[in-house]
Amino acid sequence: MLTRLQTLVVEKPWGRTDIPKDFGNFDGRRVGEIWFAHPDGTAAPILVKFLFTSERLSIQVHPDDEAAHAVGYPRGKEECWLVLDAEPGAELGVGLKAETTRKALRDAALDGSIVDMIDWRPARPDDFVYNRAGTIHAIGAGLTVVEVQQNIDCTYRLYDYGRPRELHLDAGLAVAETRPRPDLRDGHVDAAENSLLVDGPHFRLLHLAGPDAAAILPQETGDFTFTPLSQGCTIGSEAVRLGECVAIDRADLIALAPGARALLSWPA
């Protein structure tokens, strides 16, 4: 069974007006995010988004499952990013450069110096980052990113560059990791290779490339989310275009043309 997920277009002050035409015609709107809504709503375990940035996003952090349950959310939020396009000088902020204290983080969030505490990494196309819950992070300007995450709309903003939006210092600092937090899953993805990018604990994520992807597709039925990164993707007899995302119960029907790319995610 194939279900094309509803496309939700989210305008943001840091969004862009030059969204690739594969995603639609937005008549100059400043689009920051495109979400794909599952028919199961918040019961669906995984959410896929595309992000388009012209400015730095807020510095933020997410709770783990335990902390999220304590305040009434069904799950916490871990997420990962695959960079699809990066302008010269683009950066990703992942964790802290040095160990600190919650008081120092609070003071820095209030005066803006938290920006200098973040580990800002140069971003290139096909860079991959996994953000565990509790990792302070931010996405820089000039990026197109596909994000796969636990399906919960829970973000604690620590600093937002003076934009008139609420901050969540108490909740955010309560769950934030105060030390550098490198992750072994971070790295550079070979666009021509099939690879397992994430193997739990909350979801699994495959990078699929070309006809050889068939060899690593799960054979069992499940709750899969398929996201093309190019044209040339089909499921059974149906084409699935870049700019779409679909839910399927059988991954073994996926086929990719030479040079085509996609992501496949499912609960761990």
What gap in Å lies between CA 196 and CA 45, rounded to an integer? 19
Look up 157 and say whether it is catalytic. yes
**132 burial type by CB count under 10 A (0-12 exposed, 13-18 middle, 19+ buried):** buried
Neighbours of 37 (CB within 10 A): 15
Q: Tell me the C-alpha to C-alpha distance, in Å, between residue 114 and each of 107, 136, 149, 158.
A: 8, 10, 25, 9
What gap in Å lies between CA 178 and CA 210, rounded to an integer? 41
C-alpha angle 253-255-260 in degrees, rounded to nearest 5: 150
Which of the following is catalytic: 157, 181, 204, 261?
157
**248 burial type by CB count under 10 A (0-12 exposed, 13-18 middle, 19+ buried):** buried
- Using the 8-state DSSP alphabet, how is residue 58 labeled? P
Tell me the catalytic residues: 157
